[in-house]
Amino acid sequence: MTNPAYGRLKARFARIGALEEAAGILRWDESVVMPVGGAHARGEQLAALAGVTHELLTAPEMADDLAAAEAAGDWDGPNLALMRRAHARATALPVALVEAVARANTACEKVWREARRDADFAKVAKLLTEVVRLQREVASGLAARLDLDPYDALMDGYQPGIGAADVEPVFEAYAGWLATALPRAEALQARRPAPVPLEGPFDAELQEKLCRWLSERLGLEPGHARLDVSAHPFCGGHPTDIRITTAYDEDNVAKAVLGVLHETGHALYERGLPAAWSRQPVGAAAGMAAHESQSLIVEMQACRSDAFLGFLGRELADGFGLPEAATSAANLARIWRRVARGFIRVDADEMTYPAHVLLRFRLERAMIRGELEVPDLPAAWNEGLRGLLGIVPPDDARGCLQDIHWHDGAFGYFPSYTLGAMAAAQLMAAIRRDLPDLDAALAEGDLSGMLRWLNLRVHGQGARLGFQDLLRHATGKPLDPADFTAHLARRYLDG
Amino acid sequence: MTNPAYGRLKARFARIGALEEAAGILRWDESVVMPVGGAHARGEQLAALAGVTHELLTAPEMADDLAAAEAAGDWDGPNLALMRRAHARATALPVALVEAVARANTACEKVWREARRDADFAKVAKLLTEVVRLQREVASGLAARLDLDPYDALMDGYQPGIGAADVEPVFEAYAGWLATALPRAEALQARRPAPVPLEGPFDAELQEKLCRWLSERLGLEPGHARLDVSAHPFCGGHPTDIRITTAYDEDNVAKAVLGVLHETGHALYERGLPAAWSRQPVGAAAGMAAHESQSLIVEMQACRSDAFLGFLGRELADGFGLPEAATSAANLARIWRRVARGFIRVDADEMTYPAHVLLRFRLERAMIRGELEVPDLPAAWNEGLRGLLGIVPPDDARGCLQDIHWHDGAFGYFPSYTLGAMAAAQLMAAIRRDLPDLDAALAEGDLSGMLRWLNLRVHGQGARLGFQDLLRHATGKPLDPADFTAHLARRYLDG
């Protein structure tokens, strides 16, 4: 079913994959253990790795092999298709444009930090204008090569095969639902008792011990994973050598605990990828939205369920000597499932989070299409948030300056968060149909049954199915926002 | 003074250097933090990096550039020469031989662990015979390309420009001196009081705190270095991001403390390499013997001096509440400068250590020359050690099986240890001439004056001078064993 040209391509991708893994470990090292003085050298090391990897991916021999390659079947077929896609994306843009983008992104991101600190959009507007101008060029270049709409060509970089046409109807359906659901949820919440706060201080070592224990309890084996500290949490490494990080705040135990549950979801996906296809495109995760679905199905669907909160509350009570009034499942739910109209995406609750994403999706698509210019962004942002949540940020630091993404050249990424949240709800609905005793297991902190299901239907599929086909394969239908709104209704609108 | 071909070579070596640094960080990670389950993937990552680096070093365009390159001056001239040497070594051997060597070394090293455990040389003899056979081929191949004697071609891989003719006379001069000096040192030692032992337990965290403090006190800045734990101590990383390791034994504080002083010596050399020549061959350390001279000048010359032992004793007394009888400089000298005829190289004292190296130098040269065959190695070893130290190992585990080196294919490396020890003594003699107040500084744990001297005359020279020229530049003469024996005489034979 395959030929020698395809064999050569597999060997080439095995090498590219190993070099990308090396870069991943260097980035982990940079965030977790590197002395500050090593920053410049690390930049050179990562640049050399990126350069070599790019050359391997764009070599003329590779184009010849792609033209001659033959592969078919459930795995080799999609693998070759993904190789072609990777090569097309890597060769679509002139080197001068790629370099200009890197320079513009770096310059803008640096000034953005000051602009956000000072809540002064004017400071970064000019540099962001250049970033947007270049992203439009990138989008057109990729669009021409990939035969996609320009904005879709950017989205495709994060979640292959997903475009605005997949996103827009499900996002708009959610928005329509939210308009009536949010006031109802708020009214219900107002009638409930005020939550009893979790009062610290929470010793960082005890937090780490609990987080490590929880992560193992969820199924992440210590022989294949580490948990460390970094300024911004992430999940990196290799499926056999996973590196997750968190940060400990002695006043706020939720930050690390919920953060580690989230990263453990990402980690379990990586652990479950098909080892036989390691370092092949088809053996990787199915995209950023698919990845987010796996962190959210663990953090939001499983671990914020009433059943799991009962288990987690007992662990918190034991670990930190907290009173039952604070650690009861009902009270934890009142703290960790609190709905609030806020300005900041990363602080948003599960119900309103997609509104923040929808706002960004609308604005970034308009910017790429040339329908919105950077100087008009703050006003459009404030108007958009008012329309979705009825609130207006008091300044741009809490408005269009809050996220790094655009200022670092990432356009088309935001939808992945909400696609992931919706997919998580859809997968969980299917799991609950197949595993009627799920809550009994979650009440013991036992995710093993759910993980076996996910392993079979999601993790172990690698990237052989696109996002929509993966959902079809796992749940019998493509992305359906009804499962997400039904989940939210059960959790936030049931009296 | 240079031309475009040379410029292209510099860019090529900058990339090679950055990839080698990446591999160094991955090896550090493997030894210090990697989960055990990541071993296989790490092997693939390192193999990919080695493969890419080798291809960059052996590319046909590089041969063209080397033929066309022009460079002169104190730095560019030696840099080009070192580029030619690196390319010649990388291309001297057929790929099939390089692969056979890698396979044979791995197979032999694995079985050697069992053979040593069981003190059963017969177990590994056949595999070691194959390793030696291949090393003879390697030596001939390199010798033909480099126009060197075969054994010298192996030595040159560890300490460029040094061959048996440099080593033999200085080693034999030492052996002649030792024959009368050792009995005298033993007699003197026997008349002194028995040392008061340093009695633990020594809390590992307190040891780490002391080691870190000492390393900083010696001049290693925490913003550019880490100290971690690994099974075998080493120094790795990049000059701006040094990684040293040690292991803590709660019964034996000397192991970590003296080990960290040793690794700090290596680290300070790396820190002092010329930053302007980073990632160029001329900007690297001048070879393994030069590197060992820098660890030993810190550990053996400076830190085991009477002056520094006074300082270190106070720190040990403060850190662990030890009695003055144990931590006085005189008592520490009696413990840490004790002479003893032993079987094990790594446990040997400063005076007899070179005898262990001389034994190995004689035997490995004879093996490479075809004058000694593997089945005859145990007898030759025992006979050789009897001749040098008058003792015979009770079994091969304490004889020819004790070191990993030969069983892992490393022939020509052993002399570096003693070349380093001799060079350290020679450099220290020159430093003492230039800095008459050195002992007053060492008594305060202050190595800054000595370091400035070394920085100027050794570290900052990179690899632009060969080992002998480096010594000439720094001390006015090539390697002279008289400084080493004079040092030993002062320390071990002065009444």
**Tens-binned pLDDT, residue by residue, of chain A (495 aa):** 799 999 999 999 999 999 999 999 999 999 999 999 999 999 999 999 999 999 999 999 999 999 999 999 999 999 999 999 999 999 999 999 999 999 999 999 999 999 999 999 999 999 999 999 999 999 999 999 999 999 999 999 999 999 999 999 999 999 999 999 999 999 999 999 999 999 999 999 999 999 999 999 999 999 999 999 999 999 999 999 999 999 999 999 999 999 999 999 999 999 999 999 999 999 999 999 999 999 999 999 999 999 999 999 999 999 999 999 999 999 999 999 999 999 999 999 999 999 999 999 999 999 999 999 999 999 999 999 999 999 999 999 999 999 999 999 999 999 999 999 999 999 999 999 999 999 999 999 999 999 999 999 999 999 999 999 999 999 999 999 999 999 999 999 986
Q: Do B38 and A241 touch (CB under 8 A)?
A: yes
Q: Do B29 and A34 touch (CB under 8 A)?
A: no
Burial of A347 (0-12, 13-18, 19+ CB in 10 A): exposed
- Average pLDDT of span B378-397: 98
Determine contact, residues B6/B76, Cβ cutoff 8 Å: yes
**Dihedral of CA B318/B323/B329/B331: which sign?**
negative
Residue of A nearest to B48 (CA): A15
- Strands (E) located in A151-234: 225-229
Which of A45, A52, A223 minimises the CB distance to B21? A45
A61 touches chain B (CB under 8 A): no
What pLDDT score does A494 carry? 87
Structural domains in chain B, sorted by start: 4-158 (no CATH), 161-495 (1.10.1370.30)
Beta bridge partners of B187: none
Determine contact, residues A374/A367, Cβ cutoff 8 Å: yes
pLDDT band at B494 (very low <50, low <70, confident <90, very high): confident
Q: Do B38 and A222 touch (CB under 8 A)?
A: no
- Report d(CA A37, CA B225) in Å as an integer: 8
Determine contact, residues A287/A155, Cβ cutoff 8 Å: no
Which of A19, A37, A45 minimises the CB distance to B18? A45
Q: Which two tokens stand for residue A130?
A: 């250049």
Minimal C-alpha gap between B184 and chain A (Å): 49
Measure Cα distances from B386 to B187, B378, B442 in Å. Answer: 20, 12, 38
**Dihedral of CA A481/A482/A485/A490: which sign?**
negative
Active-site residue list of B: 263
pTM: 0.94
- Report d(CA A141, CA A139) in Å as an integer: 5
Query: Which residues of chain A make contact with B22, given a CB cutoff of 8 A?
Result: 22-23, 26, 45, 48-49
* pLDDT of residue B421 exceeding 70: yes
What pLDDT score does A350 carry? 96
- Report d(CA B196, CA B176) in Å as an integer: 33
Beta bridge partners of A236: A243
CB pairs under 8 A between A and B: 116
Q: Do A34 and B241 touch (CB under 8 A)?
A: yes
**Rounded to the nearest 10 degrees, what angle do helices B481-492 and B415-434 cross at?**
80
Which of B14, B18, B41 minimises the CB distance to A21? B41
Q: Which two tokens stand for residue A27?
A: 């980035």
B45 touches chain A (CB under 8 A): yes
Measure Cα distances from B44 to A14, A48, A336, B27, B29 in Å. Answer: 9, 18, 43, 12, 14
Determine contact, residues A435/A449, Cβ cutoff 8 Å: yes
Strand, coil or helix: B106? helix
Burial of B180 (0-12, 13-18, 19+ CB in 10 A): exposed
Q: Which two tokens stand for residue B435?
A: 């800095």
A12 touches chain B (CB under 8 A): no
Query: Which residues of chain A make contact with B238, given a CB cutoff of 8 A?
Result: 38, 41, 45
Q: Is residue A137 annotated as a catalytic residue, yes or no?
A: no
Strand, coil or helix: B225? strand
What pLDDT score does A416 carry? 97
Q: What's the longest Cα–Cα distance across chain B?
A: 69
- Strands (E) located in B69-202: none
What pLDDT score does B495 carry? 65
Q: Which tens digit of pLDDT belongs to each residue from B177-210? A: 999 999 999 999 999 999 999 999 999 999 999 9
B223 touches chain A (CB under 8 A): yes
Query: Which residues of chain A make contact with B23, given a CB cutoff of 8 A?
Result: 22
Question: Which of A166, A149, A164, A131 lies closest to A377 in space, CA to CA?
Answer: A131
What pLDDT score does A495 carry? 65
Question: Which of A66, A102, A72, A69 lies closest to A85 in space, CA to CA?
Answer: A66
Measure Cα distances from A236 to A25, A224, A228, A416 in Å. Answer: 8, 12, 11, 18
- Report d(CA A38, CA B77) in Å as an integer: 29
- Average pLDDT of span B81-100: 95
B41 touches chain A (CB under 8 A): yes
Which residues numbered 159-188 in B keep a CB inside 8 Å of some CB on A?
none
Q: Which helix (H) or strand (E) holds A243?
A: strand A241-246
Question: Which of B494, B495, B491 lies closest to B309 in space, CA to CA?
Answer: B491
What pLDDT score does A475 carry? 98
- Report d(CA A102, CA A54) in Å as an integer: 14
Question: Which of A79, A55, A51, A48 lies closest to A66 in space, CA to CA?
Answer: A79
Which of A34, A44, A241 minimises the CB distance to B18? A44
Q: Do B19 and A45 touch (CB under 8 A)?
A: yes
Instruction: Pick from B28, B52, B205, B245 the residue to mutate for testing the A interface (most A CBs within 10 Å).
Output: B52
Residue of A nearest to B22 (CA): A45
- Report d(CA A183, CA B332) in Å as an integer: 77
